[in-house]
A and B are shown apart, each in its own frame.
Chain A
Amino acid sequence: MSSTSDAPGSSPPADPHAPPHREVTVAAVVTGVIVGTVMNASITYAALKIGFGIGGSTIAAIIGFGVLRGLLRKGTILETNISQTVASAVNIPNAGIVFTVPVLFMLGYDLSIRSADFWIITLAGVVGAVLGCAFIIPLRKQMIEIDRLRFPTGTAVAEILKSPGAGPEKALVLLAGCILGALFYLPAGLPQISFKDAAGDPVSLPGYGSLGWVAGVDRDGDGDHDPILSDHEFNAGLLLGFPDEILFLLAISPLSLGAGFVTGRPGLMVLAGGVLAFFVINPIAFNYLDLMPAGTAAWEVPNISRSQFNRPLGIGMLVGGAMMGVVFSLPAMKAALKSIAGARGVGGGDADELGLKPLGIAIVAGLAGLFLATVLVGGSVDDPTGLFSGLPNFVRGLLLSLIGGLWIWFAGIIIAQCTGMTDWSPISGIALLTVVVVLLLGGKQNVVGAVMIGAALCVSISCAADMIQDLKTGHLVGSSPKRQQTIELAVTGVGPIITMLIILVIVQANLRDKDNVNKVPIGEGTNTPAPQAEALKAVIQGVGGLSKEQLDERQAGAEVSNEPTGKEMPYSLYGFGALLGALMGFGGFPGLGVLVGLSMYLPINYILTYGIGCLIYMVVARIKGKVWAESWGVPFCAGLIVGEAITSIVISGIVVATSG
């Protein structure tokens, strides 16, 4: 591709004595591993305690700068990029594990360090991390170079890395964004920190909700007036007198606002989808179609609609939209793969992308590991309720690992597209669907196997999204994709091991806690309620997945009820959603189904804040021009993203420290 013969100017003479430019160095890798490990451990604990995790790329970039440029005084932009790539690769797998694995403790399964299942699930996590990275690498060209997806966090990290050369004005703009983002988010995050008063009762720090801005109504009948401003949200609908069934709620999240601005006009599709779902479909469903359960109050409509049909239809649309995106992108993917196979690259000779051979080896090894884990896991028994019932364990394991591997590949594409277009990744929804499907295939006794594959998938898609974000950052600072890919593949397996061990430590601490009267290992009644895993537990029980106690009873010959519970998954809605998502792609924009699906799946408060960011971009671009919006607006909004991320992680650190 790159011939130098017709280039104006000439290549500079090489200086044989000059040291190679610092990019992949021991200092960068070691710093990244240490930072990633600390972040992984603290974010695992914080996510189990407060219910959501935090991506760490922005923080890793700043710490990397501090260590490499500040302390060691020799770090380059590209070296810091490698350091943040390593740190985020080590950190990110926690997002997949904290959502899934704790559910096994909640259902009574033994996952001590001496149990084989613990190590098999850890292996599945490592395999998931490797597969996630290996599957997404061939899509880098298509998503970053051809589709030019924005990846707001990846762009924000690049802005941080580029800041030393951006001139004092831009550095100040970035800093101003950081400070404003942090200050704006601080009162939303502070209430997570609690301490015990003299009487031993927990007291939270004050936040926005403490301002006491309330409406003159008490819709939920709890005796308190409903807040217009709560710790995390601003209820504009309540202030403006909107009908209760229309939820006009804004999240207090500079990160979402900044991500919306960085995404710009394409993000309006997300806003449009959210408005359609929450402002049009829900009110019609409530007022004219009798679609709500009897006794549903108007103010409950948004939440009930979301759980009953918006969410399953949204996930279906994501799948259908992504499928259509893949179909329409096949020529581009083919061109990208041909290019990787041809090993063309920067400089006109060397490959700048990891070749298909090492990727193929990584994928085959990953699938073999998944197969091994599926065959060996304790819950893998021939269950008559499963679709694969009657097949030998070997064949069942092979089928489950192949289907799991295929689904991991496809889910990685969905998540990477979502992250690229909006910065959000619907990991929890995809994971729920995965666990349920594996339970249907393998049988309701195979809860451990289902959660294991769910964990592998969650880790995989988290890593895929992280890797593609990092590669976007790398593109913007001019890093070598091959070096980033190699280093991320090499270290990504460390993350799941750290997270699994940290969970074990937390469980042991909970079991030794004097206040934990019932000796619950994790979940409600402990210091780590693990809300995400509680949601998964409810779904598993809804589809008839067995707890350890029920499993033992069944194996002892007892009948376990197979009666419907009324909490079954609405499978058809996923299918109809997929059809609608695919159809949306027939117009000019194949990824439309992904965006609209995401907006139906996510809570409206984040969509509206994000949408406002998109609208501000359009107004700024119209008034000041696109160049101005990109040159000044994007660094400022990158600052907003970084400001909230830093504040979140500092607050998480304080939560960890003050919880003992």
Chain B
Amino acid sequence: MRLLGNLIVAIALTVGVLAAAMAYQISLDLPNDDYEGLVLTAAAGLLLDESGEPELDEKGRPSPVLEVGDPLTPENLDVLRTNRDALADNPPAIAGYRIPTGKIRVQKFSFARWGQKWTFAAAVIGMLLGAGLVRASASRQAVAHRESGKSEDLLAALSAAQVQLGELLEQSSAAADRHAQMPHVVARLSEVGVDLQANFVEHLAVLRSLLATGTMAEVMEAYAVAERSLNRARSTAVDNDPRESLASLAAAAAQMGDARDRLAKALAAE
């Protein structure tokens, strides 16, 4: 269902963009009064020679009949309509170029002149429909996650990290030479960081599907505080400052526990 929803969104988006792109493009078949005050924002028509073939410049490019900024006076409109009919009657072929079909681009938008407004409306409905399917799929996934017990793995990852940090703190605090202990602290913290990335951060989609945005924010904020303390402990250990490193390590262990408690509470409340 998710795939179908995304496919519908992609198709509707394509249609919507194309319809929107035609917002300033109008037909040459409107009454002349409708073009009053309008100028071209894109060159229009193709100059034809006496034999009805397009006139090419020195680089082999076809030349337009009217340029950007030319006003759509009745005379200019007549020229464009005649040109359109001539091109339709005897369409020339120029490699690498398309022959214009008589649509022109103007500087002012009007709903009344926009020929693709209903196409755009259909695209909007399509996008809403697709988004609805994606959301429905996400709800089903949340139920599946709840039943699979994956959230327990996330809790376990935080608990394991807290234990590892605590053990490292105890071991390092008890060392006779704390400075000599710092390379070990760096190595261990790098490992804990990798484990957390693999066992917690990579599976956050599970939590996002289970928790409300505000609750998720509170859990993630608690985790991020612990993560930052862990990073600080590592950085200061690299710089061989046991005092700051171990203080940050102690904070990280406590904050990891706090994050775990918050997660457990949030999951229990769901």
Contact = CB atoms under 8 A, between A and B. Distances in A.
A566 B41 contact: yes
A541 interface: no
Nearest to A582: B127
A631 interface: yes
Interface in B222-270: 222-225, 227-239, 241-244, 246-248, 250-251, 253-255, 257-258
A348 B254 contact: yes
A295 B46 contact: yes
Given A291-B25, A295-B61, A11 B97 contact: no
Nearest to A166: B190
B224 A475 contact: yes
B96 A2 contact: no
B217 interface: yes
A313 B254 contact: no
Interface stretch (A84-92, A177-185, A328-336, A434-442): A328-336
A623 interface: no
A188 interface: no
Contact of B135 (A145, A287, A587): A587
A213 interface: no
A246 B255 CA distance: 53
Nearest to A141: B221
Interface in B1-59: 2, 5-6, 9-10, 13-14, 16-18, 20-25, 37-46, 59
Contact of A148 (B17, B62, B201, B234): B201
A298 B97 contact: yes
Contacts of A228: none
A531 B255 CA distance: 51
Nearest to A158: B231
Interface stretch (A13-21, A55-63, A385-393, A425-433): A13-21
Given A285-B18, A286-B98, A148 B127 contact: no
Contacts of B206: none
A244 B95 CA distance: 11
Given A7-B253, A564-B107, A285 B21 contact: yes
A148 B217 CA distance: 11
Given A568-B107, A579-B124, A586-B128, A7 B250 contact: yes
A639 to B, nearest CB: 18
B69 A566 contact: yes
Given A8-B162, A478-B229, A587-B131, A2 B61 contact: no
B228 A567 contact: no
Interface stretch (A127-135, A276-284, A447-455): A276-284
Contacts of A586: 127-128, 131-132, 135
A627 B97 contact: no
A293 B42 CA distance: 5
Interface in B118-174: 120, 123-124, 127-128, 130-132, 134-135, 137-138, 162-163, 165-170, 172-173
B17 A580 contact: yes
B9 A631 contact: no
A352 B221 CA distance: 12
A478 B214 contact: no
Interface residues of B, number: 117
A276 B43 contact: no
A299 B96 contact: yes
A279 to B, nearest CB: 11
Nearest to A76: B239
A297 B101 contact: no
A332 B221 CA distance: 10
Interface string A227-254: 0000000000000000010000000000
A309 interface: yes
Contacts of B168: 9
Contacts of B163: 8
Contacts of B79: none
A336 B168 CA distance: 31
Contacts of A78: 232, 235-236, 239
B216 A332 contact: yes
B173 A145 contact: no
A538 to B, nearest CB: 13
A296 interface: yes
Contact of B243 (A6, A18, A346, A579): A18
Interface stretch (A194-202, A356-364, A570-578): A570-578
Contact of A8 (B6, B69, B97, B170): B170
Given A21-B244, A584-B9, A276 B138 contact: no
Contacts of A281: 14, 17-18, 21
B254 A3 contact: yes
Task: Tell which of A165, A329, A627 has the most Cβ of chain B within 10 Å.
Answer: A165
Given A8-B163, A313-B21, A280 B14 contact: yes
A559 interface: no
B192 interface: no
B248 A478 contact: yes
B8 to A, nearest CB: 10
A291 B46 CA distance: 15
A15 B243 contact: yes
Contact of A290 (B100, B124, B234): B100
B166 A165 contact: no
B204 interface: yes
Contact of A346 (B137, B138, B169, B228): B228
Interface string A122-163: 000000000000000000011011101000000000000110
Interface string A443-481: 000000000000000000000000000000001111100
Given A2-B254, A221-B60, A478-B231, A298 B225 contact: no
A39 to B, nearest CB: 24
B64 A584 contact: no
A298 B97 CA distance: 6
A8 B109 contact: no
Contacts of A584: 9, 13, 127, 131
A519 interface: no
Nearest to A565: B69
A649 interface: no
Nearest to A335: B217
Given A4-B251, A146-B221, A285-B21, A588 B134 contact: yes
Contacts of A27: none
Task: Tell which of B23, B96, B101 has the most Cβ of chain A within 10 Å.
Answer: B96
A568 B247 contact: no
A294 interface: yes
A71 interface: no
Given A294-B42, A478-B234, A564-B69, 12 more contacts: A2-B254, A8-B166, A9-B173, A164-B238, A284-B18, A336-B221, A345-B225, A475-B228, A566-B70, A580-B123, A587-B6, A626-B198
Interface of B: 2, 5-6, 9-10, 13-14, 16-18, 20-25, 37-46, 59-65, 68-70, 96-98, 100-103, 105, 107-109, 120, 123-124, 127-128, 130-132, 134-135, 137-138, 162-163, 165-170, 172-173, 178, 186, 190, 194, 197-198, 201-202, 204, 212-214, 216-218, 220-225, 227-239, 241-244, 246-248, 250-251, 253-255, 257-258
10 contacts: A1-B225, A5-B254, A7-B166, A8-B162, A76-B241, A145-B223, A146-B224, A348-B251, A564-B107, A566-B69
* The 5 nearest A-B residue pairs measured at CB: A478-B232, A8-B166, A165-B238, A221-B59, A145-B224
